[in-house]
Amino acid sequence: MAIDIEWRGEFTSRETNVLHAEAFGTRVYDDAEWDWRGLVEQHSLGWVTGRSPGALVGFVNVLWDGLVHAWIQDLMVASVARHQGLGRRLVSTAATGARAAGCEWLHVDFDEALRPFYLEACKFIPTPAGLLRL
């Protein structure tokens, strides 16, 4: 499958809500509930899109502290596009974008099952981290 990967590429909130529902097993939020476009434009350092002709098949949001730290959120790849290296390339493009903005660190947190993806395929260094349920 030919997929174009782009830093700050075009996407609609609708496409992202459909992809999110498939990737994370949620219902499809409508654009008023989850306005991805408005949110990333206003708050994110950037985002990365993966597009096959006519469809958004990959996405990751890249947040930051405005200076040194960036982190990735909501990495998602459509099932039809998995295990072809797209997830790894989305993360690599996010890292390149964050580095170009002057960031020194890219963070991620993930479930145990994704250790091989993040630590082996994407080369993140394991580090202690914490999480509070709110």
Ligand X SMILES: CC(C)(COP(=O)(O)OP(=O)(O)OC[C@H]1O[C@@H](n2cnc3c(N)ncnc32)[C@H](O)[C@@H]1OP(=O)(O)O)[C@@H](O)C(=O)NCCC(=O)NCCS
| Dist. CA 105–CA 6, nearest whole Å | 21
Dihedrals φ, ψ of 88, to 5°? Answer: -60, -40
Contact call for residue 117 and ligand X (CB under 6 A)? yes
Asked if 48 is part of the footprint of ligand X (rule: CB under 6 A), the reply reads no
Closer Cβ to ligand X, 113 or 134, answer by number? 113
Which residue in this structure is represented by tokens 């730290």?
Answer: 69
List, in order, residues 6 or more apart from 104 with CB less than 8 Å away: 68, 69
Q: Which residue, 69 or 88, is less far from ligand X as judged by CB? A: 88
Task: Compute the least distance from the CB of residue 92 to ligand X, in Å.
Answer: 9
- Tell which positions 70-89 bind ligand X, by CB under 6 A: 75-77, 82-88
Is 5 an interacting residue with respect to ligand X (CB under 6 A)? no
- 23 near ligand X (CB under 6 A): yes
CB of 61 to ligand X, least distance (A): 11
DSSP designation for 108: -
Tell the burial category of 128 from Cβ atoms under 10 Å away from its Cβ (0-12, 13-18, 19+).
exposed
| Residue bearing tokens 């499958």 | 1
How near is the Cβ of 82 to ligand X at its closest, in Å? Answer: 3
Question: Which position among 2, 42, 112, 116 is part of the footprint of ligand X (CB under 6 A)?
Answer: 116
Integer Cα distance of 22 and 26 in angstroms: 7
Kindly list the residues in this chain that would bind ligand X in the complex (CB under 6 A).
Answer: 23-24, 75-77, 82-88, 110, 113-114, 116-117, 121
